[in-house]
Every structure is written in structure tokens, then in C-alpha cells.
């Protein structure tokens, strides 16, 4: 039986509503974390959404195919949604947080309407390094996104390429995610700065 809240990376388990950050140094390291995350969700009958630039999307498809995923069926059914980061995050080339939050809300509501027991969403944030967003605006968005997902049958993983982001953006990421995957380690994030930090218990860290 597939454990519905098993992340798929080591023995990490999440709770529904978790907002997780992974900081990677190359695409292979990114895939080492994210392929099992998506695979586990597909096997559990959950909807999986991946928003990323084209190179990462193509690599994800190859890695999923290598572990036996039937991509044509999964994508045709809507259980696996792979969407462009530009379409997800930007409107006419401009980052409008309210629009992205509304889209995330719609994706979740559609998943529940389609009778999925939960949704696993992952966003590659590399676009924000290519077209820099004000760190304060980005931190506000990340915080509001975490609040939006709280209490929902959803788990969200925001992905940061360490080679590309400024220190201020990394700090914004650390301040807004209670759980961080850095390299091959999982941490209960001491930099998480909201009142909810105390509610993230040690079951997340192994």
C-alpha cells in the first residue's frame, strides 16, 4: 500500500498543508528529490502539478519514464499536469502575486472536484532569478502562498537553484518555508519566521 503522505525522499513524511523548500545545486540533484516526490503522488492516486522551465520539464518527463510512468495516459487524464513556469507565474511578463495565488487556488479546487484525495504541487522558481523580483515582494508572496495552502489536502514544494539566486532571495525562501531540503539533508527550518514555526514537529526530520 502506498503511504499517501510519504514524500518519496528518504523516509520524509509531510503533513497536508505543508509548504516545503528545496535548494539544489544542479538539475540532477533537483531530480533526485523531485522525481520520487512526484512518483509517490502518482502511485497514491493524487494529482501532481509541476511548473518549471522547459529544460526541467523535459528532464522530469525522461526521469519519470525511466521509472515506468505511463506519461501519455497520466497527462491525458490530468493526473499529471506539467505547465510552463512563465504561464504559471507571469502575466504579460509581469509577476502578479494575486493572479498566481488565484491560479493555485483554482488548481486545488479542480483537483478536489475531480475527486483526487490530494494535490502535490512543485514550482521551479528559477524564472525569478532570470527576471529578478523584489525580495520583499517575493517573501510576501511565499508567505501568502503558505497561508493559502494551510488546511488543504495539498503539499507544495518550491525549488531554488542555489547557483542562480541572490542571497536576499534565499533568505526570503528560508523565512517562509518551515521545512527545507538542502543537499541530501532535511531540516526543520530555524529561520522560519511565523508563529506557526512551533507547530512543525520533529516528525518531518529524519
Is a pLDDT exceeding 50 seen at residue 96? yes
Interval 53-65: pLDDT, tens? 999 999 999 999 9
* Cross-strand pairs, 20: 157, 179
Report the share of the chain in percent with pLDDT over 70: 94
Report helix, strand or coil for 65. Answer: helix
pTM of the model: 0.90
Is a pLDDT exceeding 80 seen at residue 24? yes
Q: What is the mean pLDDT of residues 44-50?
A: 97
- Which pLDDT does position 168 carry in this prediction? 85
CA–CA gap between residue 130 and residue 132 (Å, rounded): 6
- Which pLDDT does position 194 carry in this prediction? 58
Report helix, strand or coil for 203. Answer: helix
- Which pLDDT does position 167 carry in this prediction? 81
Instruction: Report which DSSP code applies to 9.
Output: S
Residue 103: which pLDDT band, with cuts at 50, 70 and 90? very high
* Contact call for residues 18 and 47 (beta carbons, < 8 A): no
Rounded to 5°, the CA angle 53-177-23 comes to 45
Q: What is the mean pLDDT of residues 114-122?
A: 97
| CB atoms closer than 10 angstroms to residue 151 | 9
**Average pLDDT over the chain, rounded to an integer:** 90
Report the share of the chain in percent with pLDDT over 90: 73
Structural domains in the chain plus CATH codes:
19-200 (3.40.50.300)
CA–CA gap between residue 186 and residue 49 (Å, rounded): 22
| CB atoms closer than 10 angstroms to residue 30 | 23
Q: What is the mean pLDDT of residues 72-87?
A: 97
Amino acid at each position: 500500500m502506498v503511504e499517501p503522505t510519504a514524500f518519496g525522499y528518504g523516509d520524509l513524511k509531510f503533513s497536508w498543508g505543508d509548504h516545503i523548500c528545496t535548494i539544489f545545486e544542479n538539475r540532477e540533484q533537483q531530480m533526485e528529490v523531485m522525481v520520487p516526490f512526484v512518483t509517490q503522488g502518482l502511485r497514491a492516486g493524487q494529482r501532481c502539478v509541476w511548473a518549471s522551465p522547459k529544460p526541467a520539464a523535459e528532464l522530469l518527463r525522461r526521469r519519470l519514464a525511466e521509472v515506468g510512468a505511463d506519461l501519455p495516459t497520466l497527462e491525458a487524464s490530468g493526473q499529471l499536469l506539467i505547465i510552463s513556469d512563465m504561464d504559471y507565474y507571469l502575466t504579460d511578463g509581469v509577476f502578479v502575486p494575486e493572479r498566481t495565488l488565484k491560479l493555485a487556488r483554482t488548481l486545488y479546487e479542480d483537483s478536489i472536484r475531480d475527486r483526487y484525495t490530494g494535490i502535490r504541487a512543485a514550482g521551479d522558481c528559477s524564472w525569478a532569478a532570470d527576471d529578478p523580483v523584489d525580495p520583499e515582494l517575493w517573501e510576501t508572496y511565499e508567505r501568502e502562498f503558505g497561508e493559502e495552502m494551510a488546511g488543504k489536502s495539498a503539499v507544495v514544494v518550491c525549488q531554488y537553484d542555489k547557483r542562480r539566486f541572490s542571497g536576499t532571495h534565499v533568505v526570503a525562501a528560508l523565512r517562509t518555508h518551515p521545512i527545507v531540503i538542502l543537499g541530501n539533508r532535511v531540516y526543520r527550518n530555524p529561520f522560519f519566521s511565523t508563529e506557526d514555526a512551533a507547530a512543525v514537529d520533529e516528525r518531518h526530520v529524519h
